[in-house]
Chains A and B, each alone.
Chain A
Amino acid sequence: AQKVTQAQTEISVVEKEDVTLDCVYETRDTTYYLFWYKQPPSGELVFLIRRNSFDEQNEISGRYSWNFQKSTSSFNFTITASQVVDSAVYFCALSELDNFNKFYFGSGTKLNVKP
């Protein structure tokens, strides 16, 4: 079974719209870490955020915000007032404490922001 599921394969929005990218994970560990990465057309993944399983506070960084819900095993990512430069593939990833250097990535969500 896949440990990280990103059900949205591709999303298209118009500039200035808000968009939420979903991420659902599966683990039996009580200590784990969740990540979001952005992959622009240039190819290299860019780190966005890391959260540990004990910190359920939502986080906001500029136009980006993350909603961590342990009850639903979700770690969703919202971009407010999207811009064309946000167009990329976004990956959610899970790392478990007993194998911390092994990242389980979702299959990614491609976001298209149109002007």
Chain B
Amino acid sequence: ETGVTQTPRHLVMGMTNKKSLKCEQHLGHNAMYWYKQSAKKPLELMFVYSLEERVENNSVPSRFSPECPNSSHLFLHLHTLQPEDSALYLCASSQEFASGVPNEQFFGPGTRLTVL
């Protein structure tokens, strides 16, 4: 595997289900991100993990719960979602340096989530 992979690619779930999205990066990066992409809206940054610690949480509802067990893996645990949570969820990774210069983020193909 190369780059950033995400599983599953498609997910349909009911509002009472619990599911998890998985992201894995094979690039040796030290930062990982979850984004939400809804139709005709800018990409919304949900969570940022740098060196496995959460550094950014853009007031995301608690029904979304991230987990970063190591620098290569990132999960997004989902429970009691709403239909408006249906979207494409993108994972990304990047290599951060102390200089603070942002490097490009490498994205996975996304998980298309539908909440019924």
Interface residues of A in 2-36 (CB under 8 A from B): 2, 4, 9, 33, 35
Q: B96 interface residue, CB < 8 Å from A?
A: yes
Interface centre among B31, B55, B103, B112 (most CB of A within 10 A): B103
Bound-complex Cα distance A74 to B52 (A): 35
Q: B102 interface residue, CB < 8 Å from A?
A: yes
Residue-by-residue, is A66-91 near B (CB-CB < 8 Å gives 1, otherwise 0)?
00000000000000000000000001
Q: A50 interface residue, CB < 8 Å from B?
A: yes
What band does the interface of chain A fall in when counting residues whose beta carbon is under 8 Å from B? 20 to 34
Interface centre among B42, B48, B92, B101 (most CB of A within 10 A): B42
Q: Are B100 and A45 in contact (CB under 8 A)?
A: no
Closest residue on chain A to residue B41 by CB atoms: A107
Residue-by-residue, is A96-115 near B (CB-CB < 8 Å gives 1, otherwise 0)?
01001111111110000000
Which residue numbers of B lie inside 8 Å of A, CB to CB? 4, 31, 33, 40-43, 45, 48, 50, 55-56, 88, 90, 92, 94, 96, 100-110, 112
Q: Are A107 and B42 in contact (CB under 8 A)?
A: yes
Bound-complex Cα distance A100 to B40 (A): 25
In the assembled complex, the CB of A67 is this many whole angstroms from the nearest CB of chain B, namely 20
Q: Are A43 and B110 in contact (CB under 8 A)?
A: yes
* Contact status of A45 and B41, CB under 8 A, knowing A33-B102, A100-B102: no
Q: Are A4 and B104 in contact (CB under 8 A)?
A: no
In the assembled complex, the CB of A101 is this many whole angstroms from the nearest CB of chain B, namely 5
Bound-complex Cα distance A33 to B48 (A): 18
Bound-complex Cα distance A37 to B109 (A): 14
Q: Are A45 and B107 in contact (CB under 8 A)?
A: yes
Q: Are B110 and A33 in contact (CB under 8 A)?
A: no
Q: A61 interface residue, CB < 8 Å from B?
A: no
Q: Are A50 and B42 in contact (CB under 8 A)?
A: no
A-B contact pairs, 23 of them (CB 8 A): A33-B101, A33-B102, A35-B104, A37-B107, A43-B88, A43-B112, A44-B110, A45-B90, A45-B92, A45-B107, A100-B100, A100-B102, A101-B31, A101-B33, A101-B102, A102-B45, A102-B48, A102-B56, A103-B43, A103-B45, A104-B42, A106-B42, A107-B40
